[in-house]
């Protein structure tokens, strides 16, 4: 079986053709690929001790925020984002050491997340 993947730039429906290697049987199906216009691009530095820069894309959202959630305690800190900006600097110096999940929330929905290690 051969699988070819492309990174679509717009939401689109694709027709799939599946051909088995053993008997050449063909089958068809349709799948819709939804492109997420929002993205957490990077968290630098990671691991961090005092400051991090979170780079994001949220320019098509009417509202956006970051949720930084401790994977141990579940305690979260929320930061309102400027949807027209592409980065925010966060002071994590008061955070306890451990792992955190950084979630990008656009228009009330979690659309992307990355892990952050706090030293």
Q: pLDDT per residue over 39-78, tens digit each?
A: 999 999 999 999 999 999 999 999 999 999 999 999 999 9
Contact (CB, 8 A) for 113 and 56: no
Q: What is the pLDDT of residue 1?
A: 46
Confidence of residue 6 (pLDDT cuts 50, 70, 90): low
Arithmetic mean of pLDDT, 20-39: 82
Q: What whole-number percentage of the chain has pLDDT above 90?
A: 68
Confidence of residue 4 (pLDDT cuts 50, 70, 90): low
């Amino acid at each position: 079986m051969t699988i070819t993947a492309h990174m679509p730039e717009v939401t689109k429906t694709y027709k799939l053709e599946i051909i088995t290697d053993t008997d050449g049987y063909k089958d068809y199906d349709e799948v819709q690929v939804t492109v997420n216009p929002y993205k957490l691009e990077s968290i630098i530095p990671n691991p961090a001790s005092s400051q991090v820069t979170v780079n994001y894309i949220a320019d098509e959202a009417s509202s956006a925020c970051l949720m930084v959630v401790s994977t141990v305690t579940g305690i979260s800190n929320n930061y309102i984002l400027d949807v027209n900006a592409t980065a925010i600097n966060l002071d994590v110096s008061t955070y306890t050491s451990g792992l955190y999940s950084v979630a990008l929330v656009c228009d009330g929905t979690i659309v992307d997340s990355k892990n952050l290690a706090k030293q």
